[in-house]
Amino acid sequence: MNEAPRAPQMTQAAGDAPPAIVARGLVKRFGDLTAVDGIDLDVPRGMIFAILGPNGAGKTTLMRMLATLSRPDAGSARIMGHDLVANPDAVRAAIAMTGQFASLDEDLTGRENLVLLARLWGFRGRRARARADALLAAFELAPAAGKQVKDYSGGMRRRLDIAASLIVTPGVLFLDEPTTGLDPKARQGVWRMIRGLAGSGVTILLTTQYLEEADQLAARIAVIDHGRKIAEGTSRELKAATGSGFLHVALADPAQREAAARLLAARLGAEATPSVEGAELSVMAGSAEAASAAIAALIAEGIALSDFSLGQPSLDSVFFALTGHPAEPGGGAGENGGQAT
Amino acid sequence: MSANAPGGMAALERVERPRPPSAFSNALVFGWRAVLKFKHVPEQLFDLVMTPLMFTLLFTFVFGGALAGSTDNYLQYFLPGILVQTVVFNAVYSGMGLSTDLGKGLFDRFRSLPIWPLAPFAGLMVGDVLRHLIAGAIILAVGLALGYRPEAGFLGVAAAFAVLVAIGFGVGWIFIVLGLLIRTPTTVMTVGFTFIFPVVFASNIMVEPQTMPDWLRAFVEVNPVSLMTTALRGLMGGGATWGEIGLALLAPAVLTAALAPTTLWLYMRR
């Protein structure tokens, strides 16, 4: 990661305006499965807030509840001051949601999709077309405006999908895994759009399974697992809980792996885990100094390295540090033990 | 705004919501969507028209002589019925379309908008009505070319098409409900046709029920499809009674009264 985390964009107009999202004890069950198991959230206005968790953690279910698409079985929430259950229409007028799967009409052109939504919001005739064109330009889609959405690339679809959520500036924009399935260039493009939006004062709640995405975009991150919030804080706070960087080393000779693992564990005081292919080792390093000392020690022992890097902890390592189990569905441990996902 | 942001980001300045549109205006927008679909997916008209066209030609020329003495006589009998059949079959395709839309998350967006909740369905219905009218007009044109003569004249045909649209509207709800319940479009089609085929064939569309066994005839005589066909024959051929028209519209009215609220409930349940 080469960019510092974004500072929160606090454009709170008045100190007494209700926060963007206040949720208390939200629960959603599907039969025997408790998908969301008592989650509290506080998201101030103008912030990018990320919900980080593995597949099946309950992220999408939580977001669908907050966007009035799914009714909570227990708990309550207020979005922009409106009660989710008592006044869903007021909530709908204040939010927009871009779901995980493109919510666009593939047969229509990009422009027609936006004009359709603009008319549904109440823009008439020329104003609806003008709104659509302004959004197409803002999302760099003007050249493709007349093409059917089924001919769009993944990145273009995602941008159009987000544009479709901005016909009327929402108080809160929900983005469910906005970059899942995109290539790195398209991902950068979507990230730029999201930052631009936050810059214009929109509160954004996004879900992601990528620590990097949460780190790049969000001022605060809630980590959820098995339907519960297991940690919340800034990216820096979460990483501090994990111990800072991870040292990854690639061995020139895989036969030396055992020896290298023993040495690294002894130097850094943490277990070194081999990669799936077996020729790499990852170990929590604590600091850059400790990592470079460990590398020097490996070389001094005659263990040749083909590559090494000091990287951020992965979502897996954050999870491991927070929960003691990897970010794999069904690997329940601790207080969530035995709970299926 | 950072320097690498696109120049057009001015569009992201705060845009307030205009005055909320009426439910009717919402429904019209969805109707416009249906019209756009015709523009972009004209193939759907091919599916829509080919089946009834094949039925008309095959039944008229293969069975017509045997069933009614001559192909001309049979066409005179069969054509109003094939219009009913076309409309009922079309409704299955519309259920499939809905199921496809639901699978794509498009309706999640509609559901999270502050609009009249039934508007998307009203729009589907607008599309259906257009489909019914287009398919009906093509079949009527082919019938006229083959020698069909609507003895009640233009007004009779216009009235028949009005009843046809009402039938399509009523039957449409069945497949909207199926489309909401079943998440795989092909299953909607299979289930739809499994119900529709016996109901359409065990009617007086193709033949008079006199030669059928008693138990079947009893069903055919009260089959709503038969009642619809009888009314259409009367309207186009002359001699329709208000009673016949009322009976033909009974099923669509009951279906709408029962299934429109069901649709809303299924759609909004969360």
Domains by residue range for chain A, with CATH: 21-107+148-240 (3.40.50.300), 244-312 (3.30.70.920)
Question: Are the C-beta atoms of B134 and B45 separated by less than 8 Å?
Answer: yes
User: pTM of the entire structure?
Assistant: 0.76
Window 200-259 of B: residues touching A by CB (8 A cutoff) are none
Cα–Cα dist B118/B124, whole Å: 10
Question: Are the C-beta atoms of B21 and A120 separated by less than 8 Å?
Answer: yes
Contact call for A200 and B13, based on CB within 8 A: yes
Which of A109, A137, A168 shows the shortest C-beta gap to B17? A168
- The pLDDT tens digits for A153-163 are 988 998 899 89
Mean pLDDT, rounded, for B258-263: 91
Which of B37, B105, B113 shows the shortest C-beta gap to A101? B105
Contact call for A169 and B41, based on CB within 8 A: no
Residue of A nearest to B116 (CA): A120
- The pLDDT tens digits for B118-164 are 888 888 888 888 889 988 999 999 999 998 999 888 999 999 999 99
Please report which confidence band the pLDDT of residue B6 belongs to, taking 50, 70 and 90 as the band edges.
Answer: very low
Contact call for B108 and A69, based on CB within 8 A: yes
Mean pLDDT, rounded, of chain A: 83
**Interface probe with B: pick from A63, A120, A123, most Cβ of B within 10 Å:** A120
Q: Looking at the predicted structure, is the pLDDT value of residue A119 above 50?
A: yes
- Nearest CA to CA, how far is A28 from chain B (Å)? 10
B109 interfacial to chain A (CB closer than 8 Å): yes
Question: Are the C-beta atoms of A221 and A237 separated by less than 8 Å?
Answer: no
| A-B contacts (CB, under 8 Å) | 136
Using an 8 Å CB-CB cutoff, list chain A residues near B43. Answer: none
Q: What is the pLDDT of residue A271?
A: 81
B50 versus A275: which is more confidently predicted?
Answer: B50
Mean pLDDT, rounded, for B193-216: 89
- CA–centroid distance for B48 within its chain: 10
Q: What is the pLDDT of residue A326?
A: 58
Contact call for B12 and A89, based on CB within 8 A: no
Using an 8 Å CB-CB cutoff, list chain B residues near A106. Answer: 104
Using an 8 Å CB-CB cutoff, list chain A residues near B37. Answer: 107-108
Please state the domain extents for chain B. 23-268
**Interface probe with B: pick from A103, A109, A202, A204, most Cβ of B within 10 Å:** A103
- Nearest CA to CA, how far is B10 from chain A (Å)? 7
Which of A107, A112, A120 shows the shortest C-beta gap to B41? A107
Mean pLDDT, rounded, of chain B: 86
Beta bridge partners, A309, equal: A248
Which residues lie closer than 8 Å to A273 by C-beta, 6 or more apart? Answer: A281, A282, A283
Q: Give the percent of chain A with pLDDT over 90.
A: 38
Contact call for A138 and B16, based on CB within 8 A: no
B39 interfacial to chain A (CB closer than 8 Å): no
Q: Looking at the predicted structure, is the pLDDT value of residue A93 above 80?
A: yes
Half-sphere exposure of A204 (CA within 13 A, CB side): 30
- Nearest CA to CA, how far is A161 from chain B (Å)? 10
- By DSSP bridging, strand A95-98 and strand A172-176 are parallel
Using an 8 Å CB-CB cutoff, list chain A residues near B32. Answer: 116, 119
- The pLDDT tens digits for A193-237 are 899 888 888 999 999 988 888 888 999 999 998 899 988 988 877
